Structure 1
Amino acid sequence: MVEIKKYHLPPTHLIPNSPQPLLHYKGLLSEPSKRRPEDIHDTLDGNGWETQCIFRYGPTQQSHYHSRIHEAMVVLSGAAVIRFGVADTDPDPDKSAWGGAREEGGVEIAAAAGDVFVIPAGVAHKTHDATPSAAFSLLTPGEGRGIPAPDVREALAGVRLSGFTMMGAYPKGCGSWDFSVGGDDVGNFEASWNVPRPEKDPFLGDSPDGIVGQWTGSARPKGRTP
């Protein structure tokens, strides 16, 4: 049975976060045979989610969130720490990763190959301490907001994984992801909070163990307000 961890992240001064919990399916795909990108794509596609990218992550990145779309992130290789729920307070991502230039609060989660995260719209995330060390790179064709290939499954099968890599997928028909940083939506956090829940969980489908049971209707999150 999959281990599911839930994290309720209240809004900060700069980040909407969400009334829905961040879900971490720890070790869901821990067996290497389950981490073939093309097979993962088949599962996502069958549950109404679109594979849009595979990125290899560098040492760190800017904290950001997707303001109008939910995201599923699948760790394909490597390990890293992912910080959720707070904004950077310095444009230098190194200072925010290791120098304390960030908002108070949030949660840091050790991510390993086989983990899956289902991230509600509005929840900030930032990857750092990625191993093995490698340069940041998009590994799939296109610009990361969809895979422009005649056969997406074939394109994914051709990806060679190295370093810390994650696949990003999003509910079908909801467009592509944006890259919002702290402060973008102050005064309009409700737009992220009210993004509709997808019909199915990206991996658990109709099971109440996934978002079908864990995400309720839209509601104003508790905690700090903008």
Structure 2
Amino acid sequence: MSILQSMKKAAEQVTGIARPGRREIADLVRRRKSNEFRFNDDGLVPNHPFWPLVVYRGAVKLPEEFDPAAVVEELFNANGWGNSWRNGIYDYVHYHSQIHEVLGVAQGAAKVQFGGRKGRTLSLKAGDVAVLPAGTGHQCLSASGDFLVVGAYPPFGTYDECTKAEQHDGALTTILKVGRPRKDPAYGSKGPLLVAWEKAALPTPR
């Protein structure tokens, strides 16, 4: 997170200025169908063997009276996805083998490669939300100068960053240990994510 964004976030949390409340957040969510993408293991990036990348287009309204990053943070937090950060997306291929991740675009636009070499390039813009199951490769290929993302995580799992071929085999084991989240980061307990990530495939952690 940049120093500016870090200071801005801290000030908003203390003062509440430009930061929506829980009731306001409910009015800023647009119901969208899920776009689902499944990727094969490419030898470097394992991806997830059962669960797809889920993308919601234009899921979040970003009115001018609020800081857009704060809107996305509060939405994710309301649904139990925390430890949020503000930044871009790394320009090299990486994935997380021990935790799921949600990326919400607060400003600007970018082209992001998901799934590694055998994956797919998607254009993301402000208001879009992408939910990555553990193992999903991602890399920013190009972005506007104002591109800003809020990332967050479910309340279980451990953040790690995998980039090397020698991490692949171990990741195949750890990915399967990351359970299904209890809530969709955008739509809560009745969100499409919970259907896309079938409970039968992996257990929900207790």
1:130 aligns with 2:143: yes
- Residue segments in structure 1 that go unaligned for 5+ positions in a row: 87-102, 133-162, 221-226
**Residue 84 (structure 2) aligns with:** 52
- What's the secondary structure of 2:103's corresponding residue? strand
Higher relative contact order (CA 8 A, sep 6+): 1
- Displacement of 1:12 in angstroms is 1.6
TM-score (norm 1): 0.68
1:108 aligned partner, one-letter code: T
Query: C-alpha displacement at 1:129, in angstroms?
Result: 1.3
Letter in 1 for 2:134: A
Query: How far apart in 1 are the matches of 2:156 and 2:37?
Result: 27
Instruction: Calculate percent identity across the aligned residue pairs.
Output: 30
C-alpha deviation, 1:192, in angstroms? 1.0
- Asked if 1:165 corresponds to 2:196, the answer is no
Write 1 or 2 for the structure with the bigger share of helix. Answer: 2
Q: What 5-or-longer segments of structure 2 have no aligned partner?
A: 1-30
**SS of 2:194 mapped into structure 1:** helix
Q: Do the aligned partners of 1:79 and 1:130 also contact (CA within 8 Å) in 2?
A: yes
Secondary structure class of the residue paired with 1:167: strand
The 3 A distance-change label for structure 1 pair 21 and 35 is farther
Pick the aligned partner of 1:180 from 136, 159, 162. 162
Normalising by structure 2, we get a TM-score of 0.74
Shift of 1:35: 6.3
- Aligned match of 2:63: 32
CA RMSD of aligned residues (A): 2.2
Query: What is the total number of aligned residue pairs between the two structures?
Result: 169
1:43 matched to 2:75? The reply is yes
Q: Output one character per residue of 1:118-144: Cα deviation in whole Å (capped at 9) or x when no partner.
A: 000000000121012xxxxxxxxxxxx
Question: Quick one: distance in 1 between partners of 2:68 and 2:191?
Answer: 26
Q: Distance in 2 between matches of 1:32 and 1:166?
A: 16
1:37 Cα deviation from its structure 2 partner: 2.6
Matched-pair contact (CA < 8 Å) for 1:122–1:192: yes
Cα 1:218–1:8 change in 2 (3 A) is farther
Paired letter, 2:100: H
Displacement of 1:166 in angstroms is 0.3
Aligned-residue offset at 1:214: 1.1
Q: Which amino acid aligns with 1:185?
A: Q
Instruction: Show structure 1 runs of 4+ deviating over 3 A.
Output: 30-35, 217-220
